[in-house]
Structure 1
Amino acid sequence: MPLTLLRLRLVLVSLLAVSFLGALDNTVVATSLATVAGELGALQHMGWVVVGYTLASTVLIPVLGKLGDVVGPRLVFVSSLVLFLAASLACGFATSMGWLIACRVIQGMSSAGLQLMSQTIIARVAAPRARPRYMAIIGAAFPVAILIGPVLGGIITDSWGWPWVFWINVPVGGLALVLAVLAIPHIEGGSSARRFDVPGALTFTFVPVALVLGVSWAGDPSAGTAALVAFAVAALVFVVFLLVERRAAEPLVPLRHFANRTIAAGTVVSSIVGIGLFSITSYLPTYFQMAYRTSATVSGLVPIATVFGMLVSNLLTGFLASRTGRYRAFPIIGTTLGTFGLLIMALLPAGLPLWAPMAVMALVGLGTGAFMSLIVAVVQNAAPRGEVGVVTSTVNLTRQVGSTLATAVIGGIIGFGVAGRLPQGMDAADLTPQAVHASAPGTQAAIAGIYHEVFAPIFAVLALTYAIGIVAAVLLPHGRLSDELETAPASEPLSA
């Protein structure tokens, strides 16, 4: 039965608050990591505060998606939120790095449930035509968290101490929990056969574990062999996982869904966000500090411009798609803008005024935001009612794994590419922005040229990735989102 407008708004407020907490958690914590590691006396294990969170979240995405279909998304959402708040409280009381990492793993596990079930609940309580608008509002939490998270984390750490970086989740999350219990209706599990794919879950677990370990080792020259072995294990186990899924009665990731053109094309389009943009964003400040010789503060303006463009177009296209019921044009336009922008970045000469690359990357952000949240709603509309959680998890999983892999590959290319081009006698380990800016003008120009030579082909390949997204977006079937609350059968997308 459709919810009243007031109750639907309360549901949306609860989901938005929780999505914002989940998105903010990593960006706020990143600012305080050095302080935390220093006080707990374990600087060498600092990276695992982030890696443990990411790993746990990735591993549980398909598991929780399936679980939401079996027992209902409300139960998984509320349970995940309670676990997230308990883990946040425990993180603030950590007296050792091992304690903190263990709590961060629990946070990562629960954050996967919050992210997935927020999207799944919207799909179960809102009509298809209304979903893009609601998905855009919830999806806005991510770019907003990127914009304000680092600053907020610094203020909280300096003013109240690092434990409050975690404890701040408790009052906000507690309010969201009350709203969720009161507003989110009981939603029956839609899966007809209540069997869980245990072999698939166990097999899949090894894939992201090996991937994340490979990523964490890829930047360490002494662990190069271990990284290659980890990536090889991930590929091998992934093949085994696919074979297990083909034979499973109730697979964790139903491969038959990819026979549906909307789901297959939509999943490819969604993965472009992780592969084509999330992977390069963290390297942009370094690029502009070296190639454009800016300070660390100024170099952060380019990612901010990118994320701001993403935020604006995410909200705009979500509302337009809900108003018109049409969705196909937005992924096509978005992937085209992304292709065009990244191609310009590949051709843009170093040394131009900073506003030029800022404007170009803002264009890439505008393009990406045009389909970032919308494509999730489109794919959900093509899924059978009992498997919305599974399909939602598949879309999110390809995006996250694509981002992890692409980030590792790009990091390796930058590291080896820069080191291989340095003049004789210059050590890449000592190549900090401060050292470069203090060197002779000729050396600065040489380093700027090296970074431009390394990054130009990276931007070109990412432009090609977005071009593949154009093809996938064109392959999306024509259709119009329905005003009815029923979900279409898996063989065709919803249409009016």
Structure 2
Amino acid sequence: MNKPSFVKLSAAETHKVVLGAMIALFLAALDQTIIATALPSIGSDLGDFHLMAWIVTAYLLTSTAATPILGKLSDLHGRRPIMRISILIFLLGSVLCALSPSMPFLILARALQGFGGGGLITLAQTVVADVVSPRERGRYGAYFAGVWAGSSLLGPVLGGFLTEYASWHWIFWINLPIGLVAILITDRILHRLTGRGGARRIDYASVLCFIISSTSFLLALSWGGTEFPWVSWQIIVALACSIVTGSIFAWRQRRLDEPIMPPRFFSDTVVTPVLIAIFLVFGAYLALAVLVPTFLQLSLLQSPRDVGLLMIPLLLSSTAGAAMSGQYIHRTGGYKLPTLLGLPLAIACLVLLGILATQATPMLTAGLLLLTGLGIGPIFPIANVAAQNAVDRRDLGAVSGAISFARALGGAASTAGGSALVLGLMVAMMPARAADGGLTEILSHPLDAAARLDLAHAYTIFFFIVAGILAAGLLAFSRIEQRPLQDRRTVDTSAEAG
């Protein structure tokens, strides 16, 4: 008898699980952005301004490393205990953050919080795959894309409001009631999503190697060009450590019964190109979200408030693109066409933006970003649907963790690379200012017309490169094998026939 690839629940139970998963994802996503507007107040209270960037970096490092590990553990031990543990770790980290007496203590608490957040990101996607058939998952994937966009918009605003009218401690205290609601909603139902019987041991030597490898790589990306030169011994040692421990991890994975990232994923004609495509496309998307505001503010002379408004079209249109692709998946059972049509649109808009960078207006830039987001958005739900449909139910947590890890790694790599490119070009094009004080001197004063033109030329190159990354992502995505998506009717029929 063929077993369904999802656990059959009533409609009310399914909606409750999805709502709880969305709240859990909102928690993890919100804490990536809510901190931004509170950083000056935190630095003023706790001192050690030179460590302030680590408040963000610590969360990024541990959440990225946690995604595949906790996804695999949920395959072995069930979603309920790992979801509960992830939320409790996140809430414990939040309490410690709120009570932090010093900057080093806060950084360690953020690292703990990030580890729980990484589990929430993976499990939110996985539990939906457990209770919703592949053909229906696209619609729910669009909801999750909306959660990401909503947290990106709400986080800085909420963080600023709480910091101004209460204190920065409340950006962490607010997580407690939200997290408890997520537990209450999902806990009673998730006990039906059991883990596998038989072998339950996970290779903790592999876990250690994976954490060291991914953390070392992300540290190299975070430090390069900011804390240390790219060719410094610190960056070289970090990259070497990442390569060595990553090689040991890969070697051990091929010899284990329960690998964290099963090697069969990397020979699958769906999973492999999905991982490559989401690494490239999400990386390009995040590079735009992080670096275009500098172009708007310095080259187009927009205020910080107006920059925030001008970036909204990119965020909202990507959510709209995700929603449209989810509906397409539900109606047709196919998943390739929306991305095959959307990414060329995004590439064309970025090429045009690069050509027009030296004469662009704020509204033209926002309009092209809107179309770019519309073209990129479809891949976000499609990546999860295609990869989860390609694996057995026993690997849903592992493949969801792998996708989350590829997204995070792509975002970190592209943001670091894009920042290094833009800042390097700015220094090269403004040698007089750079000679006086480097990048700090460039960014600390308004630019004259000639300097703004130089910056626009730098962004011309940036937009062309991002378009090239999207083209590479399109090529990888085009290699994905189109496999039929099961819906509840086909699964139930096959089960009865068996």
On the 8 A contact 1:143/1:307 being kept in 2, the answer is yes
Aligned-pair CA distance for 1:434: 6.0
Which amino acid counterpart does residue 55 of structure 1 have in structure 2?
L
The answer to whether residue 441 in structure 2 is matched with residue 435 in structure 1 is: no
Aligned to 2:102: 96
The answer to whether residue 371 in structure 2 is matched with residue 363 in structure 1 is: yes
| Alignment match of 2:238 (pick from 222, 227, 230) | 230
SS of equivalent residue, structure 1 residue 251:
coil
On the 8 A contact 1:73/1:189 being kept in 2, the answer is yes
**More divergent stretch after superposition (412-421 vs 181-190):** 181-190
Quick one: distance in 2 between partners of 1:206 and 1:62?
A: 14
| Alignment match of 1:481 (pick from 459, 482, 485) | 485
Which amino acid counterpart does residue 462 of structure 2 have in structure 1?
I
> What is the TM-score with the length of structure 2 in the denominator?
0.91
| Alignment match of 2:425 (pick from 409, 417, 429) | 417
**More divergent stretch after superposition (36-45 vs 223-232):** 223-232
Quick one: distance in 2 between partners of 1:270 and 1:170?
A: 32
Within 5 A, what are the aligned runs for 1:12-411? 12-190=18-196, 193-220=199-226, 222-224=228-230, 225=232, 226-411=234-419
Aligned-pair CA distance for 1:486: 9.2
SS of equivalent residue, structure 1 residue 94:
coil
Q: Deviations over 1:221-258 (max 9, x none)?
A: 65541224323432343333322322333222112222
Aligned-pair CA distance for 1:362: 1.2
Quick one: distance in 2 between partners of 1:306 and 1:298?
A: 14
**More divergent stretch after superposition (95-104 vs 428-437):** 428-437
**More divergent stretch after superposition (242-251 vs 50-59):** 242-251
The answer to whether residue 15 in structure 2 is matched with residue 5 in structure 1 is: no
Aligned length: 482
Aligned-pair CA distance for 1:389: 0.9
Which amino acid counterpart does residue 458 of structure 1 have in structure 2?
F
Quick one: distance in 2 between partners of 1:222 and 1:394?
A: 30
> What is the TM-score with the length of structure 1 in the denominator?
0.92
SS of equivalent residue, structure 1 residue 188:
coil
| Distance verdict in 2 for CA 1:425–1:38, change over 3 Å | closer
Q: Deviations over 1:275-297 (max 9, x none)?
A: 21112321111122222222222
Which amino acid counterpart does residue 334 of structure 2 have in structure 1?
R
Which amino acid counterpart does residue 169 of structure 2 have in structure 1?
P
| Distance verdict in 2 for CA 1:449–1:132, change over 3 Å | same
Aligned-pair CA distance for 1:266: 1.6
On the 8 A contact 1:211/1:405 being kept in 2, the answer is no
Q: Deviations over 1:148-190 (max 9, x none)?
A: 2111110111111111101111112211211111333421213
Quick one: distance in 2 between partners of 1:22 and 1:185?
A: 22
Quick one: distance in 2 between partners of 1:161 and 1:20?
A: 21
Aligned to 1:469: 473
Quick one: distance in 2 between partners of 1:299 and 1:434?
A: 17
SS of equivalent residue, structure 2 residue 482:
coil
Quick one: distance in 2 between partners of 1:405 and 1:197?
A: 28
SS of equivalent residue, structure 1 residue 3:
coil
On the 8 A contact 2:79/2:191 being kept in 1, the answer is no
Quick one: distance in 2 between partners of 1:231 and 1:85?
A: 32
Which amino acid counterpart does residue 473 of structure 1 have in structure 2?
F
Deviation >6 Å, runs of 4+: none
| Alignment match of 2:453 (pick from 449, 461, 471) | 449
| Distance verdict in 2 for CA 1:375–1:140, change over 3 Å | same
Q: CA RMSD in A?
A: 2.1
Quick one: distance in 1 between partners of 2:220 and 2:315?
A: 28
On the 8 A contact 2:121/2:404 being kept in 1, the answer is no
On the 8 A contact 2:423/2:439 being kept in 1, the answer is no
Quick one: distance in 2 between partners of 1:346 and 1:243?
A: 43
| Distance verdict in 2 for CA 1:485–1:185, change over 3 Å | farther
| Distance verdict in 2 for CA 1:430–1:66, change over 3 Å | closer
**More divergent stretch after superposition (285-294 vs 233-242):** 233-242
Q: Deviations over 1:287-330 (max 9, x none)?
A: 22222222222223332221111121122221331233221111
| Distance verdict in 2 for CA 1:107–1:297, change over 3 Å | same
Quick one: distance in 1 between partners of 2:440 and 2:475?
A: 43
On the 8 A contact 2:353/2:360 being kept in 1, the answer is no
**More divergent stretch after superposition (321-330 vs 424-433):** 424-433
Which amino acid counterpart does residue 446 of structure 2 have in structure 1?
V
Please list every run of 5 or more consecutive structure 2 residues that lacks an aligned counterpart in the other structure. 1-6, 492-498
Identity of aligned residues (%): 28
Aligned-pair CA distance for 1:383: 0.6
On the 8 A contact 2:281/2:469 being kept in 1, the answer is no
Which amino acid counterpart does residue 348 of structure 1 have in structure 2?
L
